[in-house]
Amino acid sequence: MTIRVLLADDQALLRATFRILIDSCADMEVVAEATDGAEAVARTREHRPDVVLMDIRMPGTDGLAATAAVCADPGLSGVRVLILTTFEVDEYVAQALRSGASGFLGKDVTAEELLAGIRTVAAGESLLSPTATRTLITRFLATPAPGVRLAAPERLRVLTAREREVMALAAQGLSNEEIGEQLFVSPLTVRTHIHRAMTKLEARDRAQLVVMAYQSGLVQPPPPEPDA
């Protein structure tokens, strides 16, 4: 199946570069472009792409507001948002993940990393490296922004003990393979538990499951490192 991609970035040259790269792949195509957040939301509703490649810093309506609008729209539940940022980890990325984005990429990624990231997100997986996950958790995700409601601990009662265990390990930044090694099960079994937890908790993807794990208190963030 062809992965349908929408490009949202105010830099025309960058959009053109991404379009050439994506359209050169047999398994994906660019279906629309947007120059700001408002246009990104409108084009997403019009074209219903599989993945929106979303820049955060755009004039007018930024990518943060656009991500929140796309992820909150029940009619766009099949759309995945992949954030583009000039920084690997910052507060804006954390806010986008809270809103339902599936992951993020730096603008300095290689062509291979960009294409692999699009395929990963389109497959329903999150794009969070273990290092980036731990940094986000420590700095931003465990502490809700003003006005952001915590995931209630009671919601996790629908999970089995093993599903909670797997969810907690995923929240620590472990891959399916690493979780499987720790629990002596196959990566496929881990993936099944992850997907069952996502379904029960109505999480869009693994990234949102990670946020819920910390904000519900299932896992406690590590203490901040003392200043040198």
pTM, two decimal places: 0.73
Q: How close are the terminal C-alpha atoms of the chain, in Å?
A: 51
| Alpha carbon distances (Å) from 78 to 71, 73, 81, 141, 175 | 9, 10, 10, 24, 23
127 pairs with which residues across the strands? Answer: 103
Q: How many CB atoms lie within 10 A of CB 154?
A: 8
Dihedral sign for Cα atoms in the order 208, 212, 213, 219: positive
- Cα angle 172-173-176, degrees, rounded to a multiple of 5: 110
User: Phi and psi for 7 in degrees, rounded to 5?
Assistant: -100, 125
3 pairs with which residues across the strands? Answer: 28
- For tokens 């603008």, name the residue: 107
Maximal CA-CA distance, the chain: 51
Task: Give me the tens of pLDDT residue by residue for the chain, a chain 228 residues long.
Answer: 899 999 999 999 999 999 999 999 999 999 999 999 999 999 999 999 999 999 988 888 889 899 999 999 999 988 999 988 776 556 777 778 778 888 888 777 889 988 988 998 888 777 765 555 656 666 656 555 555 555 678 889 999 999 999 999 988 878 888 999 999 999 999 999 999 999 999 887 787 888 888 878 888 766 655 554
